[in-house]
Chains A and B, each alone.
Chain A
Amino acid sequence: MIVAERKPFDEIKGMVAGYKKVLTIGCGTCVAVCLAGGSKEVETLNAELKLNFGRDKIEFGSKTLERQCDMEFLEELDEIAGDYDAFVSMACGAGIQFLAERFPDKPVFPAVDTSFIGVNLDVGWYEEKCRACGSCVLGLTGGICPVTMCAKSLFNGPCGGTNNGSCEINKDQPCAWFKIYERLAAQGRLDQIKEISPPNDWRNQIPRKIIQPGYEERVKALG
């Protein structure tokens, strides 16, 4: 899932100051799971905002959509959008942009910092796992991502700083290449990393679009 963190209150406060009616919009998918921007977090934020600004200065509304990265759900806002002069979105960066695209006249402010694609380690505890490089090498590296989990994104690690299983950046951070070695050694697949991995084809350097097979015609028709 996409993991986000709520912005510091003062930063959010600074963005909405000066507006009269503000709608805080949550998202019921990734950011709800990671406890950053679901309906509960919308209510908490609004309560804080109301308390801070006082009831008469700014009026805060709330709404949580199933997904902000989908026009089908954004449509639900069409009727009420006109009642507000600004939006605060608690969705990930993708959701926020899609919201802004649906309502191009409306100032839209992010209430979260979108942090990474990651996993649930425990309630409230998440770890980054993927940088969406666009050419996945997990098959070669024992299911451990060298781009994300190695601090230098090395494809032929470990580097000279590897420190008894820890990364040179920090004793608490495991060295990705130490783990890759251990996992492949245990599986008898070390031969895979004896070959040199060639320079990566970084496919995340331009804005990307994907059309799944079979949908080309449909996309063409949509223009």
Chain B
Amino acid sequence: MKSGSNLEKILKAGHFAFTGEVGPPRGADVEALKKKISFLKGNVDMANVTDNQTAMVRMSSWAASLICLEQGLEPNFQMVCRDRNRLAMQSDILGAYAHGIRNMLCLSGDHQQFGDHPQAKGVFDIDSMQLLGMAKKMRDEGKFLGGADIDVAPKLFLGAAANPFAEPFEWRVHRLAKKVNAGADFIQTQCVYNMAKIREWIRQANDMGLTEKVAILPGITPMKSVGMAKYMKNKVPGMDVPDEIIKRLQGVDKKKVADEGIKIACEQIAEFKEMKGVSGVHLMAIEWEHRVPEIAERAGMLPRPEV
């Protein structure tokens, strides 16, 4: 075992993993956070705790991760390269590990221009690929990036993101290979709506032998409304929403759109369960945490295995 995290054990035991996501509050509202956590606890194997997502200031991801731990939900501590240099990153990794955090997701981060402090200086000292490599070096070699020895090494299960849809598509699998080589143990993808494209990407990853080295968890975000689907298609960079999805949502009674969105998500999960090279799914029910128990149930993900 690299880290002994619940996610690692689930994957090692050959179970189909099911992970979720918790966005920390825009303030110190611990009760609101605990409420979100309560919807995920027991229904997912681990929850990503976002790090100043969309470049908006929120409670820090490691602090919110600790609250998850305390509440009995395994956190996946997200870290972006936008807000910390290599010194701060390494000390946060040590601190997070010291407090019992066992998973970390390494990301570039959305550009600060999108957030509530567009005048901020973006750090981007190292990129997400280099962050993965650094965390792996800390774990496996017990050394800091600068080369000095670490007294007790932080043993984290390391994740990375992938966007299988962005152009140039031919490059996507090679970039995945780079992340695997850099040290990714698991990959959570951008929200999937274009199944044809992800099938092709997974096939390429299988052919290159990558899926034997890394656990791939496609991202699932159920559409709540037609408006959300259109927004995702037109406004969110890197998102690929085929027209059929929008048509399907438009085709049902207005009151049933959210239900149809969940139905689509469940169909995707069912297909991923059978897809060679896929080890689980990552459910990002953004500001929809209270529906996670229902989605988990309807997708046949419950009960979660005890490992």
Chain A residues packing against B (C-beta within 8 Å): 151-166, 168-169, 178, 181-182, 185, 190, 194, 196-200, 202
The answer on a CB contact under 8 Å between B125 and A202 is: yes
The answer on a CB contact under 8 Å between B166 and A158 is: yes
The answer on a CB contact under 8 Å between B178 and A161 is: no
Q: Which residue of B lies closest to A166 (CB)?
A: B237
Chain A residues with Cβ below 8 Å from B114 are: 169
Binds A, one of B28-36, B127-135, B280-288, B298-306: B127-135
How many A-B residue contacts, CB cutoff 8 Å?
A: 92
Chain B residues with Cβ below 8 Å from A202 are: 125
Chain B residues packing against A (C-beta within 8 Å): 81-82, 86, 108-111, 113-114, 122, 124-130, 133-134, 145, 161-163, 166-168, 171, 174-175, 177-178, 181-182, 190, 237-238
Chain A residues with Cβ below 8 Å from B113 are: 151, 169
Complex alpha-carbon distance, A168 and B238, angstroms:
8
Complex alpha-carbon distance, A178 and B175, angstroms:
12
CB-CB under 8 A for A151 and B167, given A163-B237, A199-B86? no
The answer on a CB contact under 8 Å between A169 and B238 is: no
The answer on a CB contact under 8 Å between B190 and A164 is: no
Q: Which residue of B lies closest to A202 (CB)?
A: B125
What is the distance, in angstroms, from B198's C-beta to the closest C-beta of chain A?
Answer: 14
Complex alpha-carbon distance, A149 and B162, angstroms:
22
The answer on a CB contact under 8 Å between B126 and A160 is: no
The answer on a CB contact under 8 Å between B174 and A161 is: no
CB-CB under 8 A for A168 and B86, given A156-B130, A178-B167, A196-B129? no
- Our pick among B161, B168, B181, B182 for the contact of A178 (Cβ within 8 Å) is B168
Question: What are some 27 contacts across the A-B interface (CB < 8 A)?
Answer: A151-B111, A151-B122, A152-B82, A152-B108, A152-B122, A152-B127, A154-B127, A156-B129, A158-B166, A158-B171, A159-B108, A160-B108, A160-B163, A161-B238, A163-B238, A164-B167, A168-B237, A169-B111, A185-B168, A190-B174, A196-B130, A196-B182, A197-B130, A198-B130, A199-B86, A199-B126, A199-B145
The answer on a CB contact under 8 Å between B111 and A168 is: yes
Q: Which residue of A lies closest to B122 (CB)?
A: A152
The answer on a CB contact under 8 Å between A181 and B127 is: no
The answer on a CB contact under 8 Å between B182 and A163 is: no
Chain A residues with Cβ below 8 Å from B133 are: 196, 198-199
The answer on a CB contact under 8 Å between A181 and B171 is: yes
Chain A residues with Cβ below 8 Å from B124 are: 152-154
Q: Which residue of B lies closest to A146 (CB)?
A: B127
What is the distance, in angstroms, from B4's C-beta to the closest C-beta of chain A?
Answer: 27
Complex alpha-carbon distance, A184 and B186, angstroms:
29
